[in-house]
């Protein structure tokens, strides 16, 4: 099911696409920053100072956007600094639920709320818009710092370095131009493209997006077929993590559920090896929860899968 807040009130919406049958993703609403000294963000955003124990992260194991933030939290050694609340995989009439009756779901240890939209209205009582994860929460000011995953991972990449001593850089200055180019090339046709196919409510909308999706996967396969292990600079960067969270869901979910069925990732030699390589990283593998992923998509999207049957396959969720 779908829904949103209108002036602080939860409102049910039964369709995911617009009147033209096309799925359109809204921009994230909370775009502040965290910096080491509390100075402004990279584009002049208002910022708060990085502190241990001040911040909290609301995520879904199922959501690829939230998954980016979880991986960066591990890569940057932030597990003890930034606790996590994990929503229930079933997103039903009230959106993301803060229940703990599914393995891995935590409930809401901060406030005991039942739904994520109650966290949004705690931050802004008259908020209007979608209720999404990840949510980077400031427990001191009781506000949402940021709910845009592309920015949350960059906050995690550098803001807490002086506290943790972890200076690993997944958006290095020398590679930023190329990383930005790859991100832009991948985002619309792949990261967002699977949703534009899956949530299409007309044949035209689906046909418009299926070809760019697989054209870009072919481009990625070629890029990774020249001996490189990663997309940019032959080192792990944010470009890899942004792509990985889509690829890991592709064969179990998007291929069937979203009708992205021209080809499975395991049928691409280089892309499949790349997916396996990242998946086996010790900072990445613990963040992948296929039970949450499959339960969320197949159970929550009743308009696509009305009997809510969760398929068992593929037999090997990550093909080796």
Supply 208's token pair: 């418009």
Structure tokens at 149: 């995953």
CA torsion sign for 97, 100, 101, 104 is positive
* 21: CB partners within 8 A, 6+ apart: 200, 201, 202, 204, 205
- Judge whether 63 counts as a catalytic residue: yes
Q: Can you tell me the distance from the alpha carbon of 183 to that of 204, in angstroms, rounded to the nearest whole number? A: 26
Q: Is 195 a catalytic residue?
A: yes
Active site residue: 58, 61, 63, 274, which one?
63
Q: Residue 142 is encoded by which pair of tokens?
A: 């009781």
Q: How far is CA 296 from CA 253, 279, 309, in A?
A: 10, 20, 11
Helix (H) or strand (E) segment spanning residue 86: strand 84-86
**Token code pair at residue 260:** 């992205």
- Rounded Cα distance between 273 and 85, Å, is 32
- Burial class of residue 320, CB neighbours in 10 A (0-12, 13-18, 19+): exposed
Give the active site residue among 61, 120, 127, 195. Answer: 195
Cβ distance 97 to 71 under 8 Å? no
Active site residues: 63, 195
């Amino acid at each position: 099911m779908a829904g949103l807040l209108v002036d602080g009130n939860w409102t049910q919406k039964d369709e995911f696409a617009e009147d033209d049958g096309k799925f359109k993703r809204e921009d994230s609403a909370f775009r502040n920053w965290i910096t080491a000294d509390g100075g402004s963000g990279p584009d002049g955003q208002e910022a708060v100072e990085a502190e241990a124990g001040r911040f909290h992260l609301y995520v879904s194991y199922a959501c690829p956007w939230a998954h980016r933030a979880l991986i960066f939290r591990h890569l940057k050694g932030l597990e003890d600094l930034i606790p996590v609340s994990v929503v229930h995989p079933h997103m039903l009439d009230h959106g993301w639920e803060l229940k703990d009756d599914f393995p891995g779901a935590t409930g809401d240890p901060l406030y005991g709320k039942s739904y994520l939209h109650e966290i949004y209205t705690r931050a802004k009582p008259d908020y209007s818009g979608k209720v999404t994860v990840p949510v980077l929460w400031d427990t001191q000011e009781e506000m949402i710092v940021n709910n845009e995953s592309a920015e949350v991972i960059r906050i995690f990449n550098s803001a807490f370095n002086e506290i943790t001593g972890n200076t690993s850089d997944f958006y290095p200055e020398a590679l930023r131009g190329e990383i930005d180019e790859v991100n832009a090339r991948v985002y619309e046709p792949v990261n967002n493209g699977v949703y534009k196919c899956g949530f299409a409510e007309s044949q035209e909308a689906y046909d418009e997006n299926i070809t760019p999706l697989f054209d870009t996967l072919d481009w990625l396969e070629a890029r990774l077929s020249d001996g490189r292990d990663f997309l940019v600079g032959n080192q792990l960067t944010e470009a890899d993590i942004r792509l990985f969270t889509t690829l890991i869901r592709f064969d179990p979910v998007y291929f069937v559920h979203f009708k992205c069925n021209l080809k499975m990732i395991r049928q691409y030699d280089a892309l499949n090896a790349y997916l396996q390589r990242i998946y086996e990283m010790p900072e990445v593998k613990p963040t992948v929860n296929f039970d949450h992923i499959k339960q969320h998509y197949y159970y929550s999207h009743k308009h696509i899968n009305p009997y809510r049957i969760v398929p068992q396959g593929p037999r090997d969720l990550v093909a080796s």
